[in-house]
Structure 1
Amino acid sequence: MKKIKTKIKVRYQETDQMGVVYHANYLVWFEIGRTEFIESLGFQYHDMEKDGIVSPVVDAHVYFKQPIRYGQDAFVETWIEEYDGLRTTYGYQITDEAGNIAVRGTTKHVIVKKDSFRPVSLRKKFPEWHKAYTQALGEG
C-alpha cells in the first residue's frame, strides 16, 4: 500500500485559545494530504474539474488521540484505504514531530458530474487514474 507523508507547520491562526489546533483544521490537513497523495501519483484535481467532474466528501470520520499545538510540526500520512472504481476512502494519520499519533481519520469520496451530481465511474472516465489507485492500494 502506497503511503505519503506531508509536513504541516502549525500556524497560530489554526489554534484555539488553549494554543491547541482547532478540531476542524484537521479536515483541512486531510485535504492537504489527499492532494499531495494524488499529485504523487501524477494527477491533479483541477484536471478532473476541467472535464466537469468533482469529488465531494460523502463521509468523514476523525478520531482525536492527543493535541497538536502552535509551533509544532505535524505530519499527515495519507493512503487509500478502500477503492471500488466509484468510491474512494482515504486514510489519514496525523503525528507530531516525535511520531506520536494525534489524529486518525478517513474521508470517503465519489466522483460526480459537476452540473448534475450524478456519480461517474472513475474506472471508465479516467482509466489511468483508476489504474494508479488500484496499484497504490496494492503496493506493499
Structure 2
Amino acid sequence: MIISEKKIEVRYAETDQMGVVHHSNYIVWMELGRTQLIKDLGFSYAEMEKSGILAPVLDVQVSYKKPLTYGENAIIKTWIDSYDGFKVIYGYSILNENGEQSVTGFTSHVCVRKEDFRPIRLKKMFPDWHEAYEKAKKKQQPEGD
C-alpha cells in the first residue's frame, strides 16, 4: 500500500472562536491529500478534467479525535483504502506535528463524464491510472487474520 503525505501549516482563517481548526477544513485538507496521492502516483486531476472526466465525492466519513490549533503543522496521510475498478475509497489520517491523530476519514468517488455525469470505468478510459490504483490500494487481510 502506498501512503502519501502532505504537510500544511494551520492558518488563522481556518480556526473558529475556540482557536481550533473548524471541522469543515478537514474535508478541504482531505482533498489536498487526495490530490497529493494522485500526483505521487504520477497523475493529475486537472489533466483528467481536461479530458472531460470528473471524480465527484459520493460519501464522506470523518471522525474527530484531537483538535489542531493555529500555528501547528498538520500531516495529511492519504491512501487508497479500496478500489474495484469503478469506485475508489480514499482513507485519511490527519496528524499533528507530534504524530498524534487528529482526524480519520474516508471519501468515496466514481469517475463520470462531465457532459452527462454518467459513470465510466477507469480501466477503460485511463488504463495507467487503473493499474497504478490496483498496485497502490490497501491489501486486504485474509479472513481469520
Q: Does TM-score exceed 0.5, indicating one fold? A: yes
C-alpha displacement of 1:115? 1.0
Aligned to 1:121: 121
Q: Deviations over 1:7-28 (max 9, x none)?
A: 0100000000111000000000
Shift, 1:50, TM fit: 1.2
Is residue 2:62 matched to residue 1:62? yes
- Give the TM-score of the pair, scaled to structure 1: 0.97
After TM superposition, the structure 1 = structure 2 runs for residues 71-82 of structure 1, keeping only pairs within 5 Å, are 71-82=71-82
Which residue of structure 2 aligns with residue 9 of structure 1? 9
CA RMSD of aligned residues (A): 0.9
Residue 21 of structure 2 is aligned to residue 18 of structure 1: no
Indicate the SS of the match to 2:131. helix
Counterpart-to-counterpart distance in 2, 1:82 and 1:55? 15
* Whole-angstrom distance in 2 between the partners of 1:137 and 1:53: 21
CA distance in 1, matches of 2:63, 2:138: 25
User: What is the letter of the counterpart of residue 39 of structure 2?
Assistant: E
For these two proteins, the number of residue pairs brought into alignment is: 139
1:4 is displaced (CA, Å) by 1.1
Equivalent AA in structure 2 for residue 27 of structure 1? I
The residue type equivalent to 1:9 in the other structure is E
In the alignment, the residues of structure 1 paired with residue 95 and residue 136 of structure 2 have an alpha-carbon distance, to the nearest angstrom, of: 22
In structure 1, the partner of 2:132 is: 132
TM-score, structure 2 normalization: 0.94
Q: Cα offset for 1:138?
A: 5.5
How far apart are 1:5 and its partner, in Å?
A: 1.1
| CA–CA separation in structure 2 for the residues paired with 1:20 and 1:134 | 37
Runs (4+) of structure 1 exceeding 6 A deviation are none
CA distance in structure 2 between the aligned counterparts of 1:71 and 1:46, rounded to whole angstroms: 30
SS at match of 1:98: coil
Which position in structure 1 is the counterpart of 2:104?
104
Give the structure 2 partner of residue 83 of structure 1. 83
Work out the CA distance in 1 between the residues paired with 2:86 and 2:8: 30
- 2:64 and 2:138 map into 1 onto residues whose CA distance is 28
